[in-house]
Every structure is written in C-alpha cells, then in structure tokens.
Amino acid sequence: MTILTHSIRKATTLGSQQILLLIAGVFILINFISLSLLRPDDLSSHISILTVWVICVLSGQFLLDRYLPNRDKLLFPIVIFLSGWGLVMITRLEPPFADKQSVWLLVSVVAMLIVAILPQPLRWLRNYRYLWFFGGLTLLLSTIVLGSNPSGQAGTPQLWLGFGSIYFQPSEALKIILVAFLASYLAEQYPALRAEGLVSGNRLLALSPRVVGPVILMWSISVVVLVWQRDLGAAMLFFAVFLILVYAAGGYTMIIVGGALLIVIAAIIAYAGFAVVRLRIDIWINPWPESDGRAFQLVQSLQAFASGGIFGQGIGQGAPNYIPVVHSDFVFAAIAEEYGLLGIISILTAIAAFTVRGLQIAARQQDHPFYAFLAIGLCSLIAIQSILIMGGTIRLLPLTGVTLPFLSYGGSSLLTSFIIVGLLLRLSSLEA
C-alpha cells in the first residue's frame, strides 16, 4: 500500500509539472503570435526565439526526469515560465536584444543542468570555500580596476568585465560565492552559535565574535562595492542576504537591529559622498518636481503602472518604451502596463512560490546545516533581488539598478539565476 501511494503521488506530481509547462507554453506561444501579427516582418526572429525556448523546456524536462527524478518538481516550471515571459517582453521592447537573450537562455539552462546533475559542485562549494571567497574578491577588485560599461558612456558605473563583444558582471557570480562561503562558515559554527543563544537566554545580548566578525566583514565588503562601484543594489543585496543567514543560524534578534543600523549608516555616507546615490534617494522621496528631468524614468514607470489597470493594455498595445532602459531596469513596469494587475500578481505568485519551495528544501535539510543554509541563501538572493527592483519601480524603495530575475535583459544575471536553480534542484534531490 505504501509503494502504491508513493507511485500515485509521484505520477500526480509529474502530471502537475507537465500541466504547468503546457500552460506556460500556451501562454508564451499566444504572446509570440500576437507580436508577430503586430510585426509580421519579425516573424522569422520570433520563431527562432520561441524554438530556443521550447528546446530549453524539452531538454531540461527530459534530462531532469532522467537524472534527478526525486527533485522538487515546481522549480523548473516556474523559472522556465518566467524566462519565457522575459523573452516575450524583451522581444516586444528591444527586438535587437531578444536574440542575444535567447542565446543566454540556452547557455543558462545548460549550466543549470550541469550543476543540478553533477554532484561535484556542492562539494566544491563547501570544500574550497576560502579559494572561492578570495577568487570572488579578486573578481571584485578586477572590476574596480579594469571595469567597463557596454554602453561606453562616460560617468556610468563600470560594473562589467569585457572580453571582446562579451561582457560579464562579476558581482553576479560573487552573489553565489558569498552565499556558499557564509553557508559553509555558519554550518561549521552552527553548534556554538545555537548553544550561546540558548545558554544566555537573551538573544538580544548574545553577540559573540563568531557573529560580530562576519557582520563587520560583510558590511565592509558591501561598502567597498558601494564606494568603488557605486552599485547600490549589489551592496544592499549582499548585506541583506547575509543578515538572513546569520539570523537563521543563531536566531539573534540583535543581528537584524544592528544590521538595519549599519545599512542606515552606509546610506548616510553614500548620500553625502556620491551623486548617483543622492539622486536615487532624492527622486524616491519626491520625484514630481523633476518629472521631466532627473526623475523622468521613475515617473514614467509610475504612469505605466497607472495605465495598466486590472487587465492591462495588451501585449504591444501600451507605451512602455517611454521608460529609458525599460528592457533591463523597468521590465516590471512594462509588464504592469501591458498585462495589468493580473500580470503583476502572476509574477509575485511565481517568485513567492519559488522562495517557499527553496525554504522547504532548507527545512528538510536540518541534519545538514551547510545544505540548509545554502538553500536559504540561494532562494533569498532571488527573493530580495526581486523585492529591490520591484519596490524601486513602484517607489516603495529607492532605485537600485538590479535586474528582475529571469525577466530582465542581462546575460550574466540570467546565467547566475539558473545556476542558483541548478543548485536548489540538486539540494532538493538529496532529501529523497
């Protein structure tokens, strides 16, 4: 009876997964048909982009079913749906970039499958944590010294390393490296951290060098990123994910309070010393006096949300291209205008489901602290990055310039996000 119940549950899960992928496929197909009716001259390009997405779906599904049958069955359908929607939006907003994004999607899915199927990546992340850590810092320093910007405009943040016509943003890789390093460190210190908190009986005061030292280290790295790269988004993301991991390890409430104070201190320093940070905070507080100047991008984003209504204008029927760099920083606003509140709710639901599944993977790895902390950190990266950019586009938070995972244009961001998915898929298969 137990074997029969397990078989039925497994068949039901597989059926649900296939249904989700079918729904995603129908949605993406209808959108590409709509775009082709609006732009018949681009039909061949639309077919090639859609074909790449279908290849990614079928090959990913087949190989994961073969090599990781016990994995979490919802992660891949969620992210492939979001990435397909991202291809639709980039094709609609900036057609020349859509072909590049489809190639990056193919590369990203291959990377995801390698990380998910092979057992070595998890061991490498844990056993060589210091090598990864110092390698990541070297990448960061290389960007500070040799960084460039694909746009070539003077005065723009130099956040990329270029190799010919290919550009990569090292801060994307640094996200995974730092999470793996912290997960390994906290797993090693986990018994002592929990014991100190339980013995003291007061987690507001139970702060040891094991906790304070890493907090200061990560805050310093975040400040370096902020000062030399003027990358507000990456700095906030690094530090916020770190606070979540330390809180998960020790349960110290003071970590959250102290971390918030350090963020405020860093923000004050950055506001006083850097024009780009001062600009983003000023237009966040009150964008309307400069709606035709420095705050033009944010104001146009707010108008896009307002014009979308509940059901949206329809794909290709809105005017999101008035927003500068809409395909990268403000794709969420474009979706709001053309898909309305229903589109926003769909994205929020997908990201929330992804985060919950990641936390469930962590919860089932209680006997393996490294795996648990790694899962928490990885799903937190996606969740916090999404919150930062979505909050920025609707003026709940200052603009940070990070991408919306799986949806925004950006090869290095897409590749990093799918590697995160691959690691989570591998972790989920370990629990069976």
**Nearest-angstrom CA–CA distance, 192 and 317:** 58
Per-residue model confidence (pLDDT) at position 76: 96
Residue 103 reports pLDDT greater than 80: yes
Express as a percent the part of the chain with pLDDT over 70. Answer: 81
Instruction: Please compute Rg for the chain using Cα positions.
Output: 22
Q: What's the whole-number mean pLDDT along residues 259-265?
A: 80
Q: What's the whole-number mean pLDDT along residues 271-281?
A: 81
Instruction: Quick: pLDDT tens for 71-95.
Output: 999 999 999 999 999 999 999 999 9
235-239, 330-334, 371-375, 387-391 — which is least confidently predicted?
A: 235-239
pLDDT mean across residues, the chain: 83
Q: State pTM to two decimals.
A: 0.88
**Could you tell me which residues are beta bridge partners of residue 168?**
161
376 is written with which tokens? Answer: 């928490």
Which of 242, 249, 101, 113 is CA-nearest to residue 188?
A: 249
Residue 381 reports pLDDT greater than 50: yes
**Dihedral over alpha carbons 107, 113, 115, 118 (to 10 degrees):** -140
Instruction: Quick: pLDDT tens for 203-221.
Output: 444 456 666 666 667 667 6
Instruction: Quick: pLDDT tens for 122-166.
Output: 888 888 888 887 887 787 777 766 666 665 555 555 666 666 566
Confidence of residue 11 (pLDDT cuts 50, 70, 90): very low
Domain boundaries, the chain: 123-430
Q: What's the whole-number mean pLDDT along residues 195-201?
A: 52
Per-residue model confidence (pLDDT) at position 430: 84
Q: What's the whole-number mean pLDDT along residues 295-311?
A: 93
Residue 1 reports pLDDT greater than 50: no
Express as a percent the part of the chain with pLDDT over 90. Answer: 48
**Nearest-angstrom CA–CA distance, 238 and 80:** 25
